[in-house]
Amino acid sequence: MSLTSTTTLDSQLTATWGPANTYPDVSMVMSGYPGRLWPQESQPQFWSKYQVWEWLQQVMDMHQIDASSIPFQNFDIDGHQLCSLSYQDFIRAAGSVGQILFHSISELKWSGQCHVEIGQLEIKPEIDFSCPFPEVSYPPEIYDPLIHSLAPAVSPTPSSPDIKRSYSRPHQVKKHNPRGTHLWEFIRDILLNPERNPGLIKWEDRTEGVFRFLKSEAVAQLWGKKKNNSSMTYEKLSRAMRYYYKRGILERVDGRRLVYKFGKNARGWRESEK
C-alpha cells in the first residue's frame, strides 16, 4: 500500500524534488539497515528544515504510512518551529497522522535523541552534494494537482480516446534527448543521493549493486522530467533498462520484480568509487 507506485506522486515529488531549498530524506532506504541514534547535538529544537523533513520521512516509514499522504509543505519549518507546534497544529497539518507525529516529537523533545531506526544514511549537508540533476524540479505548471490528477502520467489524456496502441504511429511531439546523463547514471545518482531520493529506489544489496524500484512510476516521471518528456512511463523506462543487460551495465535479477543489478560496465556506484 505504502509503496504503490502510482499514487499521489505529485505531492511527494513536489515536496521532494520541487524548488524548495531543502529536501526530505529517504527513509525507505533504511529498512533492513541497523538502527542508529541521532547525534547528540541533533535535538529537534535545533533541526534544520531538512532534518524536519527527514524526521517526517522516518516516522512515516516506521509506521508504514505512505509519505505522500501528508503534505510535506505544511512542515516547511525548522526544528524550533516544529517543537512549538501544538497537538492541534499537528492534526491540522497532517490529519490523523498528526497524532503520531506529535507523539514522536514529544518523545524526542524529552530524550533529545531519536530512538527510531533511521538506518545508516549519511547525513551530509546539502551543499556537499554536487547535485546530479540540478535542473530537476517540478514546476507547478507540470505538477499542478489541479491539472494532474493523482493518476499516473501514463493515463491517456481525457481528451484523447485510448488509441495509443493503434498501428498508425501518432504524430509524436519532438523530444530532445540531451546527452550527458544516461538513464543508468540517472538511476545511480538517485541511489547515491539519499537526500534527494524520497523513497524512489533503494539498495537491496549495496555491495553487490542490487537495487529495487519502490516507486517505479515516480522514477519514470522524474526521468521524463529530466528529458523533457512528460509521457515517460515505467514501461518505457524499463525497456531502456533491459537494453543495458547486453551491454553489461545491468545484470538480470531473475524472479524479482523491479529489481536490477549493476553490471561490470557500470561505473561509479560502488562505495569505494565514490
Single out the residue of 261, 262, 258 nearest to residue 6, CA to CA. 258
Q: Minimum distance between the CB of residue 247 and DNA, rounded to whole angstroms?
A: 6
239 binds DNA (CB under 7 A): yes
Q: Minimum distance between the CB of residue 150 and DNA, rounded to whole angstroms?
A: 12
Q: Minimum distance between the CB of residue 18 and DNA, rounded to whole angstroms?
A: 21
Residues contacting residue 174 through CB under 8 Å, at least 6 positions apart: none
Between residue 162 and residue 201, which ones bind DNA under the rule CB under 7 A?
164-167, 169-170, 172-180, 182-184
Residues contacting residue 199 through CB under 8 Å, at least 6 positions apart: 26, 27, 28, 29, 57, 61, 67, 214, 215
Q: Minimum distance between the CB of residue 251 and DNA, rounded to whole angstroms?
A: 10
Beta bridge partners of 260: 211
Residues contacting residue 63 through CB under 8 Å, at least 6 positions apart: 97, 100
Of the candidates 232, 251, 261, 266, which one interacts with DNA according to CB under 7 A?
232
Pick the closer one to DNA by CB: 38 or 211. Answer: 211
Of the candidates 235, 248, 268, 270, which one interacts with DNA according to CB under 7 A?
235
Single out the residue of 58, 121, 51 nearest to residue 82, CA to CA. 51
Distance CA(264)–CA(258), nearest Å, equals 20
Single out the residue of 154, 165, 14, 133 nearest to residue 76, CA to CA. 14
Of the candidates 51, 57, 58, 216, which one interacts with DNA according to CB under 7 A?
216
Pick the closer one to DNA by CB: 30 or 237. Answer: 237
Q: Minimum distance between the CB of residue 273 and DNA, rounded to whole angstroms?
A: 19
* Phi, psi angles (nearest 5°) of residue 31: -55, 135
Between residue 61 and residue 120, which ones bind DNA under the rule CB under 7 A?
none
245 binds DNA (CB under 7 A): yes
204 binds DNA (CB under 7 A): no
DSSP letter assigned to residue 116: S
Q: Which residues make up the interface to DNA (CB under 7 A)?
A: 5-6, 164-167, 169-170, 172-180, 182-184, 216-217, 223-224, 227, 229, 231-232, 234-240, 242-245, 247, 252, 254-255, 257-259
